[in-house]
Amino acid sequence: MLTDAQIERYARHILLREVGGSGQRRLLASEVRLEGISPEGAWAVLYLALAGVGRIVVADPRPVPAGGIPPLIPPSQAGRPRDAAAVPALAAHNPDVRLEVEAPGTWSEIGAVLRPKGADLLLFARAEGEASLVGWAEAPPCPACAPAGEATPEAAALAGSLAASRVLGFFLFGEAPAGILRFEGGRKEALAPCPHR
Amino acid sequence: MTVARTVDIRSYRCPMTWVRVKLALEAIAPGEVLEVLLSGEEPARNIPRSAADEGHEVLGSEEGPEGMRLWLRKGC
């Protein structure tokens, strides 16, 4: 049963035919682990917390950079472990979510990896230049296939929101079609599978 | 007509009126009847429309001293 506070908080989801009260209860019973609190990961996990995913585990002990990790972690947290800094930031957005830091942490060196409980595949999200790479795979692409480089904040935001929508699609409808897509300039194309992993 | 459940939305405003009715409809079985106790023009106009849009049957309504009673049969 949803509490009165939850009905208020998630009213807009309950109004959606695709979610409703039963879908919201499913989200509240779901769990996801985020490995890699990159800009993509920060956007994705923020959306998942706001959507009411019941339990979120974060893993990334690297220090928060000087500018913080928008939109989740402010510059005042610079130097703290990213996972420890993410927990109070997420709790401030939705006190309903149970938050944990995974210790010892494992994290993706490129982009973000989301592991929804019950999914056979992981969800990979990465911004590359102005492109956003998002999709389900057995393992994230290696650094050679998804090279490190500067990404625009817009691409990171898009990658994060696409990642969150895919994770929610798995929780609500069980959809997790394998294949990473590359979105750029209004076009999308399938990324060739990484042959190195 | 047997009413399976009654929901009182007189203290709520849009969109919480429909949110409460929708949750009450989710809690009954297809074919069962939900009774809605409402007041004011907005829900009187919008609740039957939203219910019909989502595939429920509007059986009728009745004005009473405590507000309007509306009956909805849950669709499949």
Domain boundaries of chain B, sorted by first residue: 3-73
Name the one residue in this structure whose structure tokens are 């690297």. A62
Is residue A79 one of the residues assigned to a domain?
yes
Taking a C-beta distance cutoff of 8 angstroms, is the pair B56, B50 a contact? no
Please choose, from the candidates B49, B39, B51, the residue with its C-alpha nearest in 3D space to the C-alpha of residue B11.
B39
Look at chain A and report how many structural domains it folds into: 1
Q: Which of B5, B8, B10, B14 is catalytic?
A: B14
The answer to whether residue A25 neighbours chain B at the CB level (below 8 Å) is no
Asked about B14 being catalytic, the answer comes back as yes
Per residue in B4-29, pLDDT (tens digit) is 999 999 999 999 999 999 999 999 99
Burial class (CB in 10 A: 0-12, 13-18, 19+), A62: middle
What pLDDT is recorded for position A105?
A: 83
CATH superfamily of B3-73: TusA-like domain (3.30.110.40)
Is residue A109 one of the residues assigned to a domain?
yes
**How distant is the Cα of A90 from the closest Cα of chain B, in angstroms?**
26
Structure confidence at residue A129 as a pLDDT band (50, 70, 90): very high
Taking a C-beta distance cutoff of 8 angstroms, is the pair A64, A41 a contact? no
CATH of residue A151: 3.40.50.720
Before A104, cis peptide (omega within 30)? yes
CA pair distance B21, B35, nearest whole angstrom? 9
Per-residue DSSP letter, B1: -
Per residue in A110-126, pLDDT (tens digit) is 899 999 999 999 999 99
What pLDDT is recorded for position B40?
A: 92
What pLDDT is recorded for position A191?
A: 87
Structure confidence at residue A196 as a pLDDT band (50, 70, 90): confident
3-state SS, residue B44: helix
Is residue A22 one of the residues assigned to a domain?
no
Output the six-digit token pair for B73: 């049969």
Q: Work out the average pLDDT over A171-191.
A: 94
Per residue in A36-72, pLDDT (tens digit) is 999 999 999 999 999 999 999 999 999 999 999 999 9
Is residue A18 one of the residues assigned to a domain?
no
Is residue A181 one of the residues assigned to a domain?
yes
Name the one residue in this structure whose structure tokens are 């090279």. A147
Before B15, cis peptide (omega within 30)? yes
Is residue A78 one of the residues assigned to a domain?
yes
Is residue A158 one of the residues assigned to a domain?
yes
CA pair distance A4, A92, nearest whole angstrom? 19
Per residue in B45-69, pLDDT (tens digit) is 999 999 999 999 999 999 998 899 9
Range of the domain at A118: 31-190
In sequence order, which residues have a C-beta less than 8 Å from that of residue A183 and are 6 or more positions away? A131, A132, A133, A134, A158, A162
The answer to whether residue A17 neighbours chain B at the CB level (below 8 Å) is yes
> Which residues in B lie closer than 8 A to residue A28 (C-beta atoms)?
none
Structure confidence at residue A194 as a pLDDT band (50, 70, 90): confident
ipTM value for the complex? 0.89
A-to-B residue pairs, Cβ atoms closer than 8 angstroms: 24
What pLDDT is recorded for position B54?
A: 94
Taking a C-beta distance cutoff of 8 angstroms, is the pair B60, B71 a contact? yes
